[in-house]
Amino acid sequence: MVGASAGGVEALRELMRGLPGDLPAAMLIVLHMAARGRGALARVLQRVAALEVTPAEDLAPVRPGRVYVARPDRHLLLRDGEVRLGRGPRENGYRPAVDPLFRSAARWYAARTVAVVLSGSLDDGAAGALAVARRGGTVAVQDPADAMYDGMPSAALRAVGSAVVAPAAELPGQLTRLVGGPAAAPGGGTGREMGGTLRLETDLAELDPEALHQPARPGTPSRVSCPDCHGVLFRIDDRPTVRYRCRVGHAWSPGALEASKDQEVEDAIWVAIRALKERTALYRDLAERARGSGLPESAARYEERQRQAERAAETIRGLLTSGRLGLGEPG
């Protein structure tokens, strides 16, 4: 299982270029992409790969030597020896997202899972990598110093300190060694006991009705609302990671949630600036109308209100340009 985001295409090309055509395992790849994207990644990777690379198809059997690439706006998942394309809630603002793939692999393949985290910003993949490790699987991470964006590899390393670390060019050799045994099969391996949270979260990614309508949710209610649906987020402490999930299933890592809240603040600021500019235009019109009607005192009041609105808009604009709001500056 491979997850990547910003800077991930080059890392994926490096990985695929070095893997042998007779790799005795299947590979599933999630790269963050726009919901209306073209989904050309499979063609891009096939040009450099000895393995067969195809866009994932729902219910396709998982076969060794095949690479299944996520499609836009669908979670890429595993279930009992089959590829599944889930329409479940976005995670960290994305569908497909890395965590759902890793969790589904941990659930169905347990100790025979190898999860690979490549270049990407923020921290998608860390919670999923931890689930893989807890089920007895192996986690491999592109060396953060080698990654174009080190956010995802660094977060995965914080979550799974025992992860294999290597530059992208050396990962093919590491993976070939790790999967050198028989191809993975559901029920294989000696994975550790699976918790109810893992089962619930993998079912939510497939939009399973029983999971969606289950009244209980893991975690404790927080004071933060979901950026997607504005419902209450439940904080799931899964040390050393933490994540937030709302009642309908949208999930957020701390980094992704912070970035989304930053965007909410910036959007609100631009709405305020727009409203002040509209107020400025209104007072200008009213002042001109008052002067044309021979009401100089009314015109003067409107002109003063116009100046106040202009000063307020400039103050807010100054906060944005100065960086004093701390937007886009992770702690």
Domain boundary among 130, 157, 178: 178
Q: What is the pLDDT of residue 321?
A: 81
Angle between helices 98-109 and 126-134 (to 10 degrees): 10
Task: Check if the beta carbon of residue 208 is closer than 8 Å to that of residue 79.
Answer: no
Q: What is the pLDDT of residue 193?
A: 60
Residue 306 sits in the same domain as residue 163: no
135 is a domain residue: yes
Residue 144 sits in the same domain as residue 31: yes
Domain boundary among 115, 149, 178: 178
Q: CA–CA separation, 199 vs 214, rounded Å?
A: 12
Known catalytic membership, residue 208: no
Annotated catalytic residue, options 32, 75, 123, 250? 32
What pLDDT, in 10s, does the model give residues 259-304? 999 999 889 999 999 999 999 999 999 999 999 999 999 999 999 9
Known catalytic membership, residue 123: no
What pLDDT, in 10s, does the model give residues 174-221? 999 998 744 443 433 445 666 789 999 999 999 999 998 888 889 999
Residue 174 sits in the same domain as residue 28: yes
Question: Which residue range(s) make up the domain with 34?
Answer: 2-178
Known catalytic membership, residue 124: yes
Domain boundary among 178, 200, 225: 178
Terminal C-alpha separation, the chain: 30
Annotated catalytic residue, options 99, 104, 121, 124? 124
> What backbone torsions phi and psi does residue 125 show, to the nearest 5 degrees?
105, -20
Residue 73 sits in the same domain as residue 169: yes
101 is a domain residue: yes
Instruction: Using DSSP bridges, classify how beta strands 220-225 and 138-142 pair: parallel, antiparallel or unpaired.
Output: unpaired
66 is a domain residue: yes
76 is a domain residue: yes
61 is a domain residue: yes
Q: CA–CA separation, 241 vs 129, rounded Å?
A: 10
Mean of the per-residue pLDDT values of the chain: 92
Annotated catalytic residue, options 5, 104, 119, 121? 5
Q: How many domains in the chain?
A: 2
Most confident of 35-44, 75-84, 265-274: 75-84
Q: What is the pLDDT of residue 326?
A: 67
Residue 150 sits in the same domain as residue 295: no
112 is a domain residue: yes
63 is a domain residue: yes
Residue 151 sits in the same domain as residue 261: no
Residue 125 sits in the same domain as residue 265: no
pTM: 0.86
- The CATH number covering residue 23 comes to 3.40.50.180
245 is a domain residue: no
